[in-house]
Amino acid sequence: MANPPFDDDPRDTTTPAAMAALLTRICDRRALSASSTEVLLGAMQRDVTGLKRLRAMLPPGIAVKDKTGTIGGTLNDVGIIDLPDGRGRVVIAVYIKKSARPFEERERAIAEIGRSVYDYMLIESASTAKRAERGSR
C-alpha cells in the first residue's frame, strides 16, 4: 500500500546510483575500517529479509550481500552479487517507489532484475575473458 507522506518526502534524496557508489566504496575498503567492513558485509550476507528479492532467482550457492528497505509503496534491495569462479562482483541497487502494485509483484520485479543483471554480467565477463585471452596470444 502506498504511503504518500513517505513517498513524497523531499528529504528522501538518495538514488540507486548513490547507493551503488557507496556499496562499491564499502567493497573496495574505502568507506570503513577493515573490521567494520567485514562486520557489515557479513551481516548483509546473513540477511534473510531479501530472500524473495535480489537473491530469489539466482542459482543456488551464489553469494549475495544485501540490505532491503520497505515502507508503503517503496520496496528496495541493494547489494553485492559475487559471480562464480572469481569472475568479479556486481553492485546493484533496485528501488521501487510510489507503487500500488501488490507487494509480491514488486518483490518479483526486483528478483527478475537481479537475475537479468546477473546473467548479463556472466556473459560480459566471459566475453571479456575471451578478448583478454586472444590479446595475450
d(CA 94, CA 55): 12
Enumerate domains of the chain plus CATH numbers.
Answer: 4-135 (3.40.710.10)
d(CA 47, CA 5): 28
d(CA 130, CA 116): 21
pLDDT, position 13: 79
CB contact set of 4 (below 8 Å; sequence gap of 6+): 72
Task: Print pLDDT tens along the chain (137 aa).
Answer: 667 777 788 887 789 999 999 999 999 999 999 999 999 999 999 999 999 999 999 999 999 999 999 988 889 999 999 999 999 999 999 999 888 899 999 999 999 999 999 999 999 988 887 777 787 76
Angle at 26 between CA 131 and CA 94, to 5 degrees: 75
pLDDT, position 64: 97
Query: Cβ–Cβ contacts within 10 Å for residue 85, how many?
Result: 9
pLDDT, position 1: 64
pTM summary value: 0.89
pLDDT, position 10: 82
